[in-house]
Each structure stands twice: as structure tokens, then as C-alpha cells.
Amino acid sequence: MTDEFSPIGLGTMGIDDPERIAAAIEMGYRHLDTAQIYDNEEAVGEAIDRADVPRSELFVATKVWADSLAPDDVLETTAESLDELGLDTIDLLYVHRPIEDYDPEETLPAFDELRDDGRIRHVGVSNFSAEEIAVAREVLDTPIFAHQVEMHPLYDQSELLADAHRHDTHLVAYSPIAHGEVFDLPVLNDLAEDHDATEAQIALAWLVEKGAIPIPRSASDVHLRENLAAADIRLDAAAVARIDAIDSEKKLFE
């Protein structure tokens, strides 16, 4: 198992074909992101087993859904996730959303317990506000390894990105190409032409340049390869600033 995030990971929401995920692993994806609510942990586990890549080279993350955040439920559903994934240890376990059964004083000690006994290696949070993550840091004994949020050129997350950098926390960006809406952005059209790339690749490269870790998903081999290759695209400060200046606050997930 590794503590190193790849520059670009694989989001698996909506992908339940183990062969598709195994193919992505063999292409070079090493950071795999799933969740209990995606109902595909078993497929991810089968893919890990099928792929000709050692488990030690993979970083596997999953998330506890909002209706399972009471302490006993955290422990029980994590045991189920381990079984579905076919793993002895989950590299990163997130609180998926701080809603429903979430109570920091009750929920988070269960995550500490899971880390202390080796069932998980790192604790993460997802979809937290700056205030909510500050409270979580106070309650947890374990450092927060990652904060996963929606982030793309149409939705600014500079406050949470700065917070992550201040606290040595990874900022993981889901929906990094805004469900394909980046293809309609004139700034990304121009930069894609300049770099002989796609608009999706430019959006991913922008996130990497800003110090975030995008986790795009795709069921297409072509797009999977293009997404990985985006890590090799270098955007200068002027290009990053042009994307930063896009005037939009379009949140796709509430």
C-alpha cells in the first residue's frame, strides 16, 4: 500500500463493470475512489483482484454514507466495505457528507478507532464546509488526510483549497469536468487548441496545477487514457489565471 496519491485518480461512481475498472488500473490508474452509496465496492474489489498490479501500488478510498454515521454503524458498514472490496485495510475512509446521522463528537471517534486497529490507514472528509472541517480537526486524534469536494472551472473552491494546503490535507476534486460542461467554455476551447489537448484535459491540468487531485470517471478507454495524460500538460500562470477568472458558481451536487 502506498501513501502517495497519483496526480489523477479514478472516480468510479456509476461504474459497476470490474473489467472496466481493471483496465483502468492496468492503464496506470493507482488511486481508486468509491463509496458505499455507489453500490459498486464489490466490482472495485474484483477489479483489484483481476488487474495485474500489486495491491501495494494501489490507493483505495471509500466513503461511509450519511445514514451510517452513528458509531456502531460506522464500524459495521466499514467491515462490510472491507468484505466487498476484498481488502484487509482501506487506505482512506471518508465521512461522505456531514448530514443525517453525522455528529462529530459521536461519529469521528469511530474513525479514529478504525485507524487505531488497522482497518483503515487514513481518515478523510467529503463535502464539508471550512467550519465543519475545523470542528472535525478538533475532535479527531487522527490528522485529516484528504477533503473531497466538487471542484471544476465552473465552481470555485479556492477557500477550501487554501484550507487544505494550510493543514497539509489533500484536496480531492470530484466532477472535475463538470459533467462535460467544460467543453462549452470559450477559455477552455482556446487553451485546448493551444495545447493540442481536449477541454477535459485542460480542466484536469488546471486542477493539478492548483494542487488538487482530480478523480474523473469514464467508461471509455479513449477518455480514460486522455484523462491520465492530462497530468503531463503544463499550464502557465496566465492560463491558470484565465480559468480562475471564469465567472460562474455552478454547483452540480447539493
CA distance linking residue 120 with residue 39, whole number of Å: 19
CA distances from 133 to 26, 75, 97, 105, 147 (A): 35, 21, 11, 13, 8
Give dist(CA 206, CA 105) in Å, integer.
36
In contact, 107 and 70? CB cutoff 8 Å: yes
Active site residues: 38
37 burial type by CB count under 10 A (0-12 exposed, 13-18 middle, 19+ buried): middle
Let me know: does 116 contact 143? Beta carbons within 8 Å.
no
Triad 152, 238, 216: Cα angle to 5°: 25
